A and B are shown apart, each in its own frame.
Chain A
């Protein structure tokens, strides 16, 4: 595993450089916005990466809460399976198909719905016990960083294109801001809480945040219909060459996010081992030899 890290770092660096070259040189200039639109290749992949990380955080938090009691764990398993099955079937019912926005194929929506149980079981398999909580910290922190990039590049892009830095009624910008606020409060809670209960409290807050997001989205959507804003985005399809560069850029960002998450994950694990060893030491007393309580003896686990 340790050898894999430098190899992946090199691949990520190459991918990021290639994505930058594609974004600045290869991608065609936008007909209306000119060169300034190229910020999309940083703005949108950061947003997708941040949302993915927050989604993983939510799944890990649910898993953590469910794993407290065997009965809730079984119940959660069946609920997630039911969501997957019902969601996929619902996507192909004519009544539901009308609700799917134009331009989205039902099969694509069904695949997205399937991601929920898939992620749920994958995360539960790969990260048993305390590692679920470590995963939740990691994804929340890295997600906030990517979300911050979105919120900084958004206004930079908006200023020349829309003429304003910030559109308070724009759904995407405002709901991203609220998401950012929720996850910053999540990190603040983790910082201020006592160590023993932090994990449970943080997991509960993550669930509340995930429940809040659709409500935020709908409230801002309706607010916008009442208070007309300058027409922003939407409409028109993307040049396939642009889409290609966007996907390449996203791959590079995903690799980068994975790399950062990985090292943060290892750091957090080590940090907890050190804390555990310190607690053990003060519990047992100084009589223990330093060899037995050496925190970094990872091979012993």
Chain B
């Protein structure tokens, strides 16, 4: 157990340091989601009342597409110099590697969300009518839902031809309930018309189920030959 956390922490710090120095994933995610926000604001141009109904959908679609950029780089980075093969033969537990990658992506996507959400509020003139604090559990659970499966499927798609295209094809169908939960939960808080409790519970269930599945199957995926 001790070595699990030690390896996780070491890999996580390595990834954060890499990202801090290059800022590859974060910059491309930021610019991509900025583009999505601007294009959506041109194409819809909503009134304040309408924008409350559609903003939940727009913001999560933007984050979903942007996070694919970061997720694609997760394992592609390790292919250079055969780092992934080195991981495979090392005695370090496979789940430590997975947890580190998932936590790293979680941090990157959370930073993106923290930077982009104010922009969304400005572009769409948003004012929250429901209990605003509930947006925090939805954001945390929703981001983890995207990232945990995304990291797993990125490890799968890195083994295929045309891997950049494979990841969204695998990730999006499985993520539909999570995306529905995030979008519907955010919309019900923004409009203040309904309670978002069910969606938070749904996201929590999704996270528990798929985190367990990822941890159970990741070793097989890493060592698949």
Q: Which residues of A contact B (CB under 8 A)?
A: 65, 68, 178, 181-182, 184-185, 188-189, 192-194, 196-197, 200-201, 204-205, 207-209, 211-212, 215-216, 218-220, 222-223, 226
A sample of 5 inter-chain contacts (CB < 8 A) reads A184-B173, A193-B161, A201-B159, A205-B156, A226-B184
Beyond A193-B160, A204-B221, A207-B213, is A182–B173 a contact (Cβ under 8 Å)?
A: yes
Which of B152, B178, B180, B217 is A223 in contact with, Cβ under 8 Å?
B180
- State in angstroms the CA–CA spacing of A205 and B210 once bound together: 12
Residues of B contacting A: mostly? helix
Q: A182-B173, A215-B202, A215-B209 are in contact. List 11 more A-B contacts (CB 8 A).
A: A185-B173, A192-B166, A197-B159, A200-B220, A200-B221, A201-B221, A205-B156, A211-B209, A212-B174, A212-B177, A226-B188
State whether B156 touches A219 (Cβ < 8 A): no
Q: Which 3 A-B pairs have the closest CB atoms?
A: A200-B224, A181-B173, A215-B177
State whether A192 touches B161 (Cβ < 8 A): yes
Which of B169, B177, B206, B225 is A196 in contact with, Cβ under 8 Å?
B225
Chain B's interface size range is 20 to 34
- State in angstroms the CA–CA spacing of A80 and B216 once bound together: 17
State whether A208 touches B213 (Cβ < 8 A): yes
- State in angstroms the CA–CA spacing of A184 and B220 once bound together: 23
When distances are taken between beta carbons in the complex, the residues of chain B under 8 Å from A201 are 156, 159-160, 221, 224
- State in angstroms the CA–CA spacing of A194 and B181 once bound together: 34
Which of A188, A194, A215 is B206 in contact with, Cβ under 8 Å?
A215
Which residues 145-177 of B sit at the A interface, judged by CB distance below 8 A? 149, 152, 156, 159-162, 166, 169-170, 172-174, 176-177
Which of A196, A207, A218 is B202 in contact with, Cβ under 8 Å?
A218
Question: B181-213: contact bitstring with A at CB < 8 Å (1 yes, 0 no)?
Answer: 100100010000010001100100110011001
When distances are taken between beta carbons in the complex, the residues of chain A under 8 Å from B213 are 207-208, 211
Most chain A CB within a 10 A radius of its CB, from B152, B156, B173, B225: B173
